[in-house]
Structure 1
Amino acid sequence: MDMKLEVVVVPVADVDRARAFYEKLGWRLDADFTDGEDFRVVQFTPPGSPCSIIFGTRISAATPGSSEGLHLVVPDIEAARAELADRGVEVSEVFHDAGGVFHRAGTEGRVTGPDPERRSYSSFLSFSDPDGNGWVLQEITTRLPGR
């Protein structure tokens, strides 16, 4: 049976502020529904993604800003960084891991610049939404077998 990840809940404190941020990213607004004053759900989808995010009022009991390691895959990490910066997003420098593997939590082991060999899966950048939910962009140019 196929199981596809469709939606990720992102906990936010201010729904309108979060909506404005994700609009600024250029993501598609799929829904903004309310059911009275105490329930609201907003859904956005990143360009080209089959998975969306939702946030809102009474959507999650998680602490706003507590999501981290939300990954977006891009074919060109430097072009992605330039686009985000042009949209006014505070974004990290492109980095790779000192050990040459997947990045570590936080900033430990980060080396500035893309992977020296430009290996697929090895170059990253990061940014956060206004609540501190942490996003990572990962450059993938050639998929591993079976992916």
Structure 2
Amino acid sequence: MDMRLEVVLLPVADVDRAKQFYAQRMGFRLDVDKPVKDDYRVVHLTPPGSGCSIAFGVGVTTAEPGSVQGLQLVVTDIERARDQLIEGGVDVSEIFHDATGLFHHAGEVDRVPGLAAGRASYGSFASFADPDGNGWLLQEITERLPGR
């Protein structure tokens, strides 16, 4: 049986501010904004080209706003993606790679400025946060590992 990750819930403090950030600054497609009643509203958006969406709202999660960290958006050209986000008003870190050359450490530990050596697929990152502090990473993947 297939199992697909299709929606990630984000805890946010201000639904309209988050909606503006993701729809206007990030360029995510607004799929749903459904206020059901005063204590229940669902907002659902999808990143360009993604099969997985984000959702937030009122009454959809008990997690603390800003507590989600390490969400990753995969791009084929990290420099271009970073530039587009900056043009949209997103505060994005400089591009970095991990000192180990493998994935990345939590937080900012062992970040080395610049692209991964030889611009190795899976090796270059840039980070940013939404207005509540939920943490995101861009990861450049130009050639997928076998089976992916």
**TM-score bracket, shorter-length normalisation:** over 0.9
How many residues align? The count is 147
Which digits, 9 at most, give the CA deviation of each residue in 1:47-86, with x for residues without a partner? 0000000000011000000000001100001001100001
- Does residue 1:121 correspond to 2:131, yes or no? no
Match of 1:31 in 2: 32
Match of 2:4 in 1: 4
TM norm structure 1: 0.99
Name the CA distance, whole Å, in 1 between partners of 2:123 and 2:145: 12
Name the CA distance, whole Å, in 1 between partners of 2:117 and 2:83: 19
- Does residue 1:65 correspond to 2:66, yes or no? yes
Note the residue ranges of structure 2 that are not aligned, 5 or more in a row: none
TM norm structure 2: 0.98
C-alpha displacement of 1:116: 2.0
Runs of 4+ with deviation above 6 angstroms: none
Name the CA distance, whole Å, in 2 between partners of 1:36 and 1:55: 15
Root-mean-square deviation over aligned CA pairs:
0.5
Note the residue ranges of structure 1 that are not aligned, 5 or more in a row: none
Match of 2:16 in 1: 16
Which digits, 9 at most, give the CA deviation of each residue in 1:109-142, with x for residues without a partner? 0011110211100000010000000001100000
